[in-house]
Each structure stands twice: as structure tokens, then as C-alpha cells.
Amino acid sequence: MREGINIFEEDFWAITDILNRLLQGTNARTILLIDKAGQLITSSGDTAKIDVSSFATLSAADFAATSQLASLIGEKEFSTLFHQGEKENLYVCLIADRVILAVIFDMRTTLGLVRVRAKNSAAELEKIFNDIFDKLDKQTGPKKGLDLDFTKAAEEELDKLFGF
Amino acid sequence: MALINYASREINSKIVYYGPGLGGKTTNIKYIYTKLNPEIKGKLISLATELDRTLFFDFLPVDLGTIRGFKTRFHLYTVPGQVFYNASRKLILKGADGIVFVADSQIERYDENIESFENMNDNLQTYNLTLDRIPLIIQYNKRDLPNITSVEELQKVINPQNKYPFFEAVASQGIGVFETLKEVCKKVLLTLG
């Protein structure tokens, strides 16, 4: 299992660009990109009315639980999920085995359009994430992470925050 | 595993509270939720049964603030402790950056602690992970009750080499709760450095 995801500027903007194009191309309300552990990578569209942390966590949990259901009936994975509501709908698909793309949309668009355009975007995103994972796998020598200064500052912040 | 986004300058880490059923994992998270300032905590989500037993997980995001330009956030999860929810436990454990093992100090729960600890190791192994790579903090909870096993005795079976930091706690009163949280956060940040 790869350790974590580190996303650098160039990849981040490429990812954001794909999400923005998908948002415009589908007329969806919000698009979220979430890692399988439930952490939000980035989003596009209207997130003002959504608790994105909770949404990311529950989407990942939903996906994880559904994957287990798939394996119980002999499927490797259900690669897409669709939840239909009265006004809002949710379409979710998996990218590069590690990242979840969630599209929230209403009656201004259709499931068919979301599905087709999301599939195209998923292919583009998959390429970027595979590159990111390759880069992480190939990293040799000292891990490019956070410096000691950071750890020290974080400790001070913890002291302050938790009041010890 | 931790998500470090250099573009949006964010770090997200996942901490999982593990342990036997009714040991106090949710109590820890709920206490943290009640004590933290509203501006640094998110919504507490509990996927629980009608009888308030954890069915899938509890979730609480905690913002540490901006450190050296990085918005640092911890996601706290609990697993369902009951034996038959192992599939859910395994899912929650995936991607954990740090683990708090909440042991129940009561004499009659002695065996459940050992079983749960072994179960945690088994579940980690399915992800090719070991406790050498993920920081673990042990919390001996319910120290206020009369019928408890001594910490020395619990250490012998759960932490025989004293490899993992441990705290005594009474989570229902908040004793030891933040000490445990702070230690696991520190250890997780060290692994990122």
C-alpha cells in the first residue's frame, strides 16, 4: 500500500482544471475529489451549503461499504454508485483505485450526461493520479516531507490548543 | 494515510480509536467534541444503532490551525467495538495515520482487550501494515471503577515491551482524554516530518 498522497502545485492545478471543465460541461452543482480514506483533495462548484468534511468522509465510507458488498457477490468492485433524491442526486465513481469522484447534481442536468462526461474526466484524472503515485513510488533518499521546524511548530500549536 | 496538498497548503491526517466494545472510544470523541472551541471543530457524525452503539463509525474533524503555512487538520474516527462488526472495523482502519487503543480496565473485560488488540493487528496485516509503521497510543480507560485490573498487569499483556506510550483515563470525566489525543497527534506529525 502506498503511503499517503502528496500533491504538488502543477498536478493540483491540472486536477482543478479537469473538475472545473466537468462542472461546466455537465451543469452539475458540486464536484468533490476525495481519497479513499475520506479526505477531501479538492472541489469545484458550490460548496457553501455542504459540510464538505462530513460529505467526504461519508462518501468514502459509502464507497468502502459498497465495495465489500461487491466482493460478497463475487465482484471486484462496483466502480460507480448513484443515489437519487427528490431534488439532488449523487453520482460517484472510482479513479485509479484510490480516489473517489463525487458529482452532486440536480434537475438542470441528467444522469446520462453526468455519467458520460464523468467517465471522460475520470480517464484524464486517472492519468494524473497514476503519475502522482509513480512519482511517490520512485522517490528515493530522504522522504520529501515536512521539516523539523514544522513538527516543532505543530507541537507548540497542540500545547496551545489542548491547553497543557 | 496522510494527504499533503502543497498547492492548497493543507495536511489531513486520520486517527482511529480502536478497542473492545463499550470500552469508551465514542466517549473519548464526544468529550473532545464538547470541550473544543466551535471554530476548530467540525460536525460530530455518529453512525450508531438506536441503542447508541457504534454501527459504522464516529467522525470528528479537528483543525489544528495553520502551521508554517499549512492548514493542519486531524480526522478522528472510532471503530465499532462489537466483535461481529469486523468488516466495518477493517474499513475504518484503512488509511489510518495513528491509532489510539482504548482498553477497558475492568477485570471482566480483560480478555476482550487482548482479543481486540490481536484483532487490530490482524486487520492491519490485511493492509500490509504493522505497528512499527503506525504510531500507537494506549489508553487504559475506566480507572475510576472499583473492579479493575492493575496497569502493570494490563501492560504485561497489551504492551509488554513498553513500546507504546500509555495513559490512564476516565474518559467519561475527561481525565486522560486530551493527553492521549495530544500524544497521538504529536506522533503522527513526527511521521510526516
Domains, chain A, ordered by start: 9-162 (3.30.450.30)
Alpha carbon separation from A24 to A18, A29, A111, A117 (Å, rounded) = 10, 9, 15, 10
- State the alpha helices, DSSP H only, in chain B: 25-35, 86-93, 110-126, 151-158, 177-192
Alpha carbon separation from A112 to A26, A95, A120, B52, B169 (Å, rounded) = 10, 19, 13, 40, 54
Q: CB contact, 8 Å: B94 with chain A?
A: yes
For testing contact with chain B, the best of A10, A17, A53 (most B CBs within 10 A): A53
Q: Measure in Å the smallest separation between the Cα of B110 and chain A Cα atoms.
A: 31
- Whether the predicted pLDDT of A51 surpasses 80: yes
Q: How far apart are CA A106 and CA B123, in angstroms?
A: 39
**Residue that has been written with the C-alpha cell 495513559 in this structure:** B167
Q: Measure in Å the smallest separation between the Cα of B61 and chain A Cα atoms.
A: 7
- Cβ distance of B65 and A162 shorter than 8 Å: no
Which residues in chain A are closer than 8 Å to B11, comparing Cβ atoms?
146
- Cβ distance of A42 and B8 shorter than 8 Å: yes
Q: Measure in Å the smallest separation between the Cα of A110 and chain B Cα atoms.
A: 31
By three-state DSSP, how is residue B68 classified?
coil
Residues B48, B75 contacting (CB under 8 angstroms): no
Q: B75 to chain A: nearest residue by CA?
A: A39
Q: B71 to chain A: nearest residue by CA?
A: A154
Q: CB contact, 8 Å: A69 with chain B?
A: no
The residues facing A122 across adjacent strands are none
Q: B4 to chain A: nearest residue by CA?
A: A6
Could you tell me the pLDDT band of residue A1, with boundaries at 50, 70 and 90?
Answer: very low
CATH at residue B80: 3.40.50.300
Q: What is the pLDDT of residues B133-144, one digit of tens each?
A: 899 999 999 999
Residue B191 has what pLDDT? 87
Which residues in chain B are closer than 8 Å to A41, comparing Cβ atoms?
3, 5
More confident position, B170 or A69:
B170
Domain that holds residue B22: 3-192
Into how many domains does chain B fold? 1
Could you tell me the pLDDT band of residue A107, with boundaries at 50, 70 and 90?
Answer: very high
Q: Measure in Å the smallest separation between the Cα of A97 and chain B Cα atoms.
A: 14
Which residues in chain A are closer than 8 Å to B75, comparing Cβ atoms?
38-39, 53, 57
Mean pLDDT of chain B: 93
Mean pLDDT of chain A: 88
pTM for this model (two decimals): 0.86
Which residues in chain A are closer than 8 Å to B61, comparing Cβ atoms?
53-54, 57
Residues A102, A121 contacting (CB under 8 angstroms): no
Q: What is the pLDDT of residues A114-144, one digit of tens each?
A: 999 999 999 999 999 999 888 877 765 445 5
Average pLDDT over residues B109-127: 96
